[in-house]
Amino acid sequence: MIRTGIGYDLHRLADGRKLMIGGVAVPFDKGPVGHSDGDVLAHAICDAVLGAAGLGDIGTHFPDTDPKWKGASSLRFLEVLPAMLRKKRERIANIDAVVICERPKLGPHFPAMRDLLARALGIHPEQINLKAKTNEGVDAVGRGEAIAAYAVVTLESTASVQRSARRSTRGKSR
């Protein structure tokens, strides 16, 4: 079985805060306002995984009312997900995500982001595709007042993968 989930996150930007995206501290004069580190990419991916697995959303599992998550690295949210997926006999097949901001340029940081995200999720970096877009000067994101991210995650059932592997080895001579 294949399941797909979508995630979205947006944070206002404020002067003097650290800009964390995909676990990477991106040099910039502004950063997200949030309860945790405000990593929009990690938050969008988290929501997409949870949605695909039918497990609610990030606020259900990591509420901003819980002091435990105050200032926490959003990679910690992602590190919890593999165990949740194993219980449901599912695994991440693919992640496709886009970060929307006017500045800074994110492309040079994508390899490090993929590595950190993959490590947190227990997958290979090749299973993650990242893109960056601007909002062409439109709305709060376009004015540089906010940053946003979307993510789409595809999960596959590990039960069906195991059955398929057993079927393919049955007919082979030893």
Q: Beta strand pairing status for 90-100 and 128-133?
A: parallel
Residue 57 CB contacts under 8 Å (≥ 6 apart), including other chains = 47, 50, 51
Q: What is the mean pLDDT of the chain?
A: 92
Tokens of 139: 């709305």
How far are the Cα atoms of 17, 18, 23, 77, 95 from residue 31, in angstroms, in the given order?
4, 5, 13, 19, 24
Tokens of 26: 């991106």
10 Å Cβ neighbour count for 112? 15
Q: What is the pLDDT of residues 68-121, one digit of tens each?
A: 888 789 999 999 999 999 999 999 999 999 999 999 999 999 999 999 999 999
Query: 167 pLDDT exceeds 70?
Result: no
* Stronger pLDDT, 125 or 66, i.e. the higher one: 125
8 Å CB contact between 93 and 155: yes
Tokens of 28: 């910039």
Could you give all domains of the chain from N- to C-terminal order, each with its CATH number? 2-170 (3.30.1330.50)
Over 145-166, what HEC string results?
CEEEEEEEEEEEEHHHHHHHHH
Query: 161 pLDDT exceeds 60?
Result: no
8 Å CB contact between 59 and 146: no
Q: What is the pLDDT of residues 98-111, one digit of tens each?
A: 999 999 999 999 99
d(CA 114, CA 85): 20
